[in-house]
Structure formats: structure tokens, C-alpha cells
Amino acid sequence: MSQELGRLEDLPQDYRDDLKALNLVPLWPSLRAVLPPRVPTRATLATHWPYASLKPLLLKAGELTPIEKAERRVLVLANPGHGLENMKASPAMYLGMQLLLPGEWAPSHRHTPNAVRMIVEGEGAYTTVDGEKCPMSRGDLILTPTGLWHEHGHDGKDPVVWLDVLDLPLVYYMEASYHVDGARQTVKQGSGDRAWTRAGVVPTTMFHRSDKRYPMLRYPWVDTRAALVAMAANEPDLDCVQVTYVNPETGDDAENILGFYALMLKPGQTLSLPARSPSQVFHLIEGAVDVAVLDKTFPLVEADTCCTPGYEAVTLKNRSAEEPAFVFIADESPLHRKLGVYETR
Ligand code: 1HN
């Protein structure tokens, strides 16, 4: 049991006033709050955003607010534990559902926070990142790393929706968040996902000198799904059939701050993830999965999203005994590892 420390009220008022006048604060009344015993204080509440409830409100935003008045038409998935107005899913993760209607264009800009998009539904939209035109299809992951120009367009017939994941809360907290507007980009030849199309063989550097820090921007879902199915077939005893989205040149995490993964749950499988320090986000691409954390269980259906606080075990259960399930996961692991605070318990 930690020793109880002196309170602010224990100090004479004139002494407190003298401190305040000199912008001084005694540490001991706040020491236990900033450094609690064993487990950090977490504002992040386990929260579920069912797609079926948010979709009508997102489509309504399409009627209420023209794209010119929004630039990006997004409903933010805000964690009530952090205060909705702070637009955080977790300490370092921002989540938003973005709607682009046929014919609309979201103009080019670049900014310091890193973003990814996980395509939720609709065909025919594309995003141009650093001059590369990336078609958007359900389950695709498209990177928009820090500093790269990006804009979105839509040549299809139906509304397109995607999930944006950004490290905005962290970059904003660092007082390093800003954007720059730009002109429409000229689309360049070639695409990273065609150059780096198979794990194990990469373009020979002698002939193909990539000067890009992010050689692969689009990770097509057909390839990621096929990799998971092959991995499960190859190693039938493997419990955690999961892949990490990486930079294919370096093998590092695809982006600097947040980590991205795709997980396959076999029919009927229950998977217990140990308590680890980073917060996590789960987005269901395919199937039916229960996500259990603390005293809550979220019955995810396709396109649902939920988040869980760090330092808690999470159990995932495939509700189907016949079909596999596929989950997209985002977490704060790269950040925790770089800062040296990453833990598994
Ligand atoms: C942004 O640039 C996009 O480009 C989406 O689609 C969401 C949220 C906060 C800051 C920038 C986009 C964003 C964002």
C-alpha cells in the first residue's frame, strides 16, 4: 500500500498564494494521480460504434452539408471517456467515418498527422496520394503518411464510405498538427502495390531505386485476405492468424506511430489476447465477432468498429461455426515501442 501523501489543503493559504503568484506547484498532492500504483489511469472507455446506426446519420450529412462546406465529410467516432469534443478514440488514435458521394471531389492537402483509410463500402472512389491514384475497394488499406499530398474523387454510382484512422490526438498534443492546401495533383505512372506485389520478391534496387519513404501506399484486401487464408491452411495449429501491414522495403511498421494488422478467426474460434499497454481498435471486415473487454461484450457485425483501452486483456470470439471472420486492427504499438513503454502482462 502506498504511503498517503500531504494534500493541498494541508498547506497554509498564504503559502499556497505565494506559490501560485510565482507559477509554482507542490508535487506531492498530485504525485499519486500522475503516477498511480501499478496500472495507469485510463480515460479510454471500451466503446462500440455500430455501423447500422451511424450510416443513416452519415448519409444525412451528405444531404445537409455539401462537400465544399465540409472539405472532408466525416462523422468522428469519439470516445466519451475522453470528452466527445476532443475527437479521440484513444490517447493517440482518431477515428472517423468519411462519406464521398458520386462526382464529389475532396481537394488536395497534406498535413503532419499520419492517416490510413480502411474502405468500408462502395466502389468507384479513389484517393490520389503522392501522385499515385489508389482505387478504393472494400477492405483495402490505403496509407496517407505524414507530409504526403492527398485528395479523394469518386467516379462511381453509389456512396462510398471509409474509416479514417489518424494519430491526430498525439500530433495535436505535441503542438505539431497543421495542414497545407495544394493544387490538384498530376497522377504519375505506376503503383506501389503492383511493384511490391508478392512478399519475398521485391524490386531489385540496382534497377529500381525507390527514393520513397513509403513505397507501398495501397494494400488490396484481396491480397491480404488470401495471405491470411494461406497462412491458416499452412499452419493448422496456429492460434493467432494475423498479419502486420509493413513497409515492404524495410519490414518496419507501415507508419511511424500507429500499427495496422489483419486477423483471421477460424470458424468457432475464441482468441484471447493478453493485456498489453497500447489501446486498440477493432473493425470487422467480414463475419460476426464478439469483442469482450472488462465487463463489456460488443457483438460486432460487418463494418462495426470498437475500441479497447490499454493494459486490458481482450477476447475475440467468432460467432459463426461455419465461416471464418476477418478483423482489421489498429493500435498504438509502434508509438509505445519507440517510447520504451510497451508492455505485455
Ligand atoms: C483528413 O485530412 C482526412 O484527408 C480525413 O480525408 C480526416 C481528420 C482530421 C484531420 C485531417 C482526409 C481527417 C483529416
Residue 324 belongs to some domain of the structure? yes
Q: Is 104 within a domain?
A: yes
Q: What is the mean pLDDT of residues 48-74?
A: 98
Whether ligand 1 lies within 6 angstroms of the CB of 112 is answered as no
26 part of a folded domain: no
From the CB of 309, is ligand 1 less than 6 Å away? no
Does 164 sit in the ligand 1 pocket, CB within 6 Å? Answer: yes
CB within 8 A of 178, min separation 6: which ones?
111, 112
What is the H or E stretch that residue 316 is in? Answer: strand 312-318
Taking only the tens place, the pLDDT of each residue in 91-144 is 999 999 999 999 999 999 999 999 999 999 999 999 999 999 999 999 999 999
What does the alpha-carbon distance between residue 41 and residue 311 come to, in Å, rounded to a whole number?
A: 10
Burial class (CB in 10 A: 0-12, 13-18, 19+), 115: buried
Query: How far is it, in rounded angstroms, from Cα 3 to Cα 75?
Result: 46
Determine the longest span between alpha carbons in the chain, in angstroms: 74
Q: Is residue 345 part of a domain?
A: no
| Residue of 73, 109, 166 to mutate, ligand 1, most atoms within 8 A of C-beta | 166
Asked if residue 20 belongs to a domain, the reply is: no
pLDDT digit string, tens, across residues 236-289: 999 999 999 999 999 999 999 999 999 999 999 999 999 999 999 999 999 999
CA of 344 to the centre of ligand 1 (A): 32
The Cα 211–Cα 214 span in angstroms is: 9
Q: Is the CB of 166 under 6 A from ligand 1?
A: yes
Q: What residue numbers bound the domain in which 62 lies?
A: 47-198+216-339
At 205 the pLDDT is 84
Ligand 1 pocket residue status of 163, Cβ below 6 Å: no
Contact between 164 and 74 (Cβ < 8 Å): yes
Q: Give the model confidence (pLDDT) of 3-51 as tens digits.
A: 899 999 999 999 999 999 999 999 999 999 999 999 999 999 999 999 9
| C-alpha separations of 167 from 38, 53, 116, 119, 305 in Å | 26, 25, 9, 18, 17
Global pTM reads: 0.97
Whether 96 lines ligand 1, by a CB cut-off of 6 Å, is yes
Q: Please provide residue 38's backbone torsions phi and psi, each rounded to the nearest 5 degrees.
A: 70, -50
Retrieve residue 333's grid coordinates: 504499438
Contact at 8 Å (CB) between 264 and 229? yes
In a domain? residue 1: no
DSSP at 246: B
Ligand 1 geometric centre to CA of 116 (Å): 9
CATH code, 150: 2.60.120.10
* Ligand 1 site, residue 82, Cβ cutoff 6 A: no
- Spatial separation of the C-alpha atoms in residues 273 and 187, rounded to whole Å: 42
